[in-house]
Amino acid sequence: MAITSDRESLEPIQLHQPLAASRPRASAALLAAVLMLAASGLMFELILTRIFSATIWYHYAFVAISVALFGWGLGGFLVFLLRLGQHPRLKSILPLLAMLPGLLMPVFLIAILQFPFKPQYLIAYFLLSLLPFLAGGAALSLVFEAYGSDANRLYFADLSGAALGVLGVPLVIGLFGAETAVLATAILPAMAAVLLAWSADKAQRPRVLPLMAVALLAAIVGLVAWNHHSQPFTIRDAPDKALYKFRRQYPGSRLESDKWNVYSRITSVRSPDADNLARIFIDSDNWTNVMHWDGNPAHPADGRNWFRAVPFRVSEKPRVMIIGPGGATDVVLAIAAGSPMVTAVEMNPLIIDAVQAFGDEAGRVYDHPNVDLVMSEGRNFVERTPEKYDVIMLGFVDTFAAVSSGGLSLTENYLYTREAIEAYYDRLTDDGVLAIVRWPVDVRRLVANAVDFLSARGMSIEQIGGHIMTVAERDPAWNTTPSASDELPPETLFLLSRSPLTPERVDKLLAGHQNLYVLHAPGREPAPDCPQYRQLFSGKMSFAEYTDSFETLATPVTDDRPFYFAYDKPLGMHNFVLQWFGIPIGIVIAFTLVLLLAGKRAGFRPPGPRTVAYFGALGLGFIICEIALMQRLILLLGHPIYTLVVILFTILLASSLGSLYARRFAPEQIHRRLGVIIALVIVLVATASVALPPVVRAALPLGLYPRIALAVAMVFPFGFLMGMPFPLGLRRMALDPTAAPVSALWGINGVASVVGSIFCIVLAVIAGFTWVFVAGALCYALAWITRPR
């Protein structure tokens, strides 16, 4: 989901009252243009996160958000340095600036598609994506300076456009796909340019200007229609992604479908493999197989003997829940094992559509009478259902797409946290089992999660060992991640039983499997080269020694710090990720200093240290608190689309109302009011750091609409209060005729948001989201100290 900075919550104020009073009132055309520019910026930002997720990696989708925030802020700096607000032909400049995003968005798309998507080209991707944001930020900044006397209506047009952009992204991506969605988004700034050009004073505008704007609009519409029909501009190669590796390995494979929604790209490829009908790729990388199946519960005949069918042996007719069934292989195996009803909990409708498209070839599995399909996020459903199951299974379910927090995600996954394992455990029957199939390296943290919560329930370490079994299909021969080798490690089963696993139960589960690599199983001799599990459960190794004994992090993962896949020692983040995060921070800070120094040498009055600290702290605090709120409420809403539409939309709306409410404060009241408002923000943020998790857990059993209402009620006060300090600060600064212009303050806030977004994620991985809230409160404390006198 896209992230908006506090900059978007400003209520632009006249720099100098006498000058502002002489400026014209914004026309309806200008208000519509502002709305379109704001909507296009937010939509382009969100679409970028999807493109980068599906072509490079989720880490870099996060950086795309920083590029967007930097572009908006940089646009304000350019207006400040070039003194465009004082230009005599300002009304001609505005249409030209509005045209630029409409021109640069298609240029960005066409340019990046000329080469395979590789991390080596990241700088080029980010520079190209920066340009539309820079142009859009400059256009909006100039509008606010030129029409300061009508700032309130301009501000509402700005936020209305951003809110409409939030609602529009799921529609445009679902209808066109991400590539054509970029072109469709470019229509909005082109339309804004047409409105500005035709409404400009005929005596001031060049005659060709309206024709240029109309020609650009027509060209973009033509591009949209052409690409939607013929797809000349589409992603064709990302060499590091599994989809393209698979197609190079199997030239005879056939693309069956390629569809996008706001949180994934789902590509179905018919497989030449005799055992599988097709392979479905999620964001071009993670995949799930679709089996040949005739719908007969007795098939496949050897289904009971498959390694992934081991958990289904707990009962003759097990009642099964499968979270993230994907291509439905586990569903078919559960039916073949005798399950009378399989509850399949799938979040992504595009995956279901891709499987069902194979019809009888795949047995129409999700329409099978033994299958109950539930469209929901797995963890959310488990927390809400009162039902008990003999088997709850997760087979390579990965939800670390850059969607749950608008791209500001690394590898957060609420399916594998300590609290999640506990929730699954509580939904098991007396002899039920939780089964998770992953790679060997992943088992370490699953064991740590189980030990952590079962210890809290009073079990000894020896007793806990009697409830856990973990085995691999074969000798892993190494302990590494899948990406470290072209050959995949063996599938590894982690099994947690509600009742003790006696040697007899273990023998029943593993009967017929002769070459298994036993990491830990009651009554079985473990593999000699992996002694940590045996030493832990025999009491020869403490839990702290266990978690420290591996070359990767093996500590428990919590909802507060849900980065299950962040296991690089010592901080959970690989050095190259930290380096890439350091690059934009360094660039942003250096560039900001250069611009401010250049402005001073050119005769401008740059903002003073106190002013920079105040508006910078607001930019940092707003973005940090916004990200933390989204993360805390992901689990409550249970679906990325709700997180996007509900939370972001509410923050935009609440911030606009907060700014409008603050307009009633008299100038002499601003300092005192700011003190009270920022103090309330600090209290609210500090309270949320400890109060939100239990509230969310308690509210999970509620229906969807009550949960949405609760999320809105919790988010609204944050947006309302955090939307006030920035416009109040601007108004107070505007009383000083020597103060820096709005465009400079706009830029400071924008670049601070870049730093804040990166800092927030790094801190979350290292310390958890509680500390992210604390950091947000400290930023607002700095704003309280430096608030305008």
In this prediction, residue 543 has a pLDDT band, given cuts at 50, 70 and 90, of very high
Report the distance separating Cα 33 and Cα 12, nearest Å.
Answer: 17
Report the distance separating Cα 339 and Cα 758, nearest Å.
Answer: 47
Q: What is the pLDDT of residue 18?
A: 38
Q: How many helices (H) and strands (E) are present in the chain, helices listed first?
A: 28, 12
Answer whether 716's CB lies under 8 Å from 774's CB: no
22-57 per-position pLDDT tens digit = 445 778 889 999 999 999 999 998 898 888 888 876
In this prediction, residue 8 has a pLDDT band, given cuts at 50, 70 and 90, of very low
In percent, the amount of the chain with pLDDT more than 70 equals 86
Q: If you average pLDDT over residues 337-353, what whole number do you get?
A: 96
What mean pLDDT, rounded, does the chain reach?
85
In this prediction, residue 15 has a pLDDT band, given cuts at 50, 70 and 90, of very low
How many other CB atoms sit within 10 Å of the CB of residue 20? 17
Instruction: With CA atoms as reference, report the closest residue to 607 among 2, 15, 61, 88.
Output: 15
Please tell me whether residue 178 adopts helix, strand or coil conformation. Answer: helix
Q: If you average pLDDT over residues 742-764, what whole number do you get?
A: 82
More confident residue, 11 or 727: 727
More confident residue, 452 or 62: 452
In this prediction, residue 588 has a pLDDT band, given cuts at 50, 70 and 90, of low
Answer whether 384's CB lies under 8 Å from 423's CB: no
> For the residues of 553-586, what is the DSSP string, one character each?
------SSS--TT---TTTSS-HHHHHHHHHHHH
Q: What is the pLDDT of residue 63?
A: 62
Q: What is the pLDDT of residue 115?
A: 83
Report the distance separating Cα 186 and Cα 195, nearest Å.
Answer: 15
According to DSSP, the residues that pair with 375 across neighbouring strands are 346
Query: Among 111-125, 167-181, 585-599, whose mean pLDDT is lowest?
Result: 585-599
Query: Among 16-20, 538-542, 604-608, whose mean pLDDT is lowest?
Result: 16-20
Q: What is the pLDDT of residue 608?
A: 79
Q: If you average pLDDT over residues 703-722, what whole number do you get?
A: 93
Instruction: With CA atoms as reference, report the closest residue to 721 among 651, 770, 644, 624.
Output: 651
Answer whether 297's CB lies under 8 Å from 255's CB: no
Answer whether 185's CB lies under 8 Å from 47's CB: yes
In angstroms, the Cα distances linking 699 to 529, 579, 636, 705, 769 are: 45, 39, 7, 11, 20
Q: What is the pLDDT of residue 77?
A: 79
Tokens coding 507: 């023998």
79-135 per-position pLDDT tens digit = 877 777 666 666 778 899 999 999 999 999 999 998 888 877 777 888 888 999 999
Q: Are strands 389-395 and 428-438 parallel, antiparallel or unpaired?
A: parallel
Q: What is the pLDDT of residue 257?
A: 94
Q: What is the pLDDT of residue 602?
A: 60
Tokens coding 459: 């079990």
pTM above 0.85, yes or no: yes
In percent, the amount of the chain with pLDDT more than 90 equals 51
426-441 per-position pLDDT tens digit = 999 999 999 999 999 8
In this prediction, residue 6 has a pLDDT band, given cuts at 50, 70 and 90, of very low
358-401 per-position pLDDT tens digit = 999 999 999 999 999 999 989 999 999 999 999 999 998 874 34
In this prediction, residue 237 has a pLDDT band, given cuts at 50, 70 and 90, of confident
For residue 287, what is the enclosing H or E element? strand 286-291
Q: Over 90: is that where the pLDDT of 279 sits? A: yes
695 burial (CB, 10 Å; 0-12 / 13-18 / 19+) is middle
In this prediction, residue 405 has a pLDDT band, given cuts at 50, 70 and 90, of very low
Query: Among 152-166, 428-442, 578-592, 768-782, whose mean pLDDT is lowest?
Result: 578-592
Q: If you average pLDDT over residues 160-182, what whole number do you get?
A: 92
In this prediction, residue 469 has a pLDDT band, given cuts at 50, 70 and 90, of very high
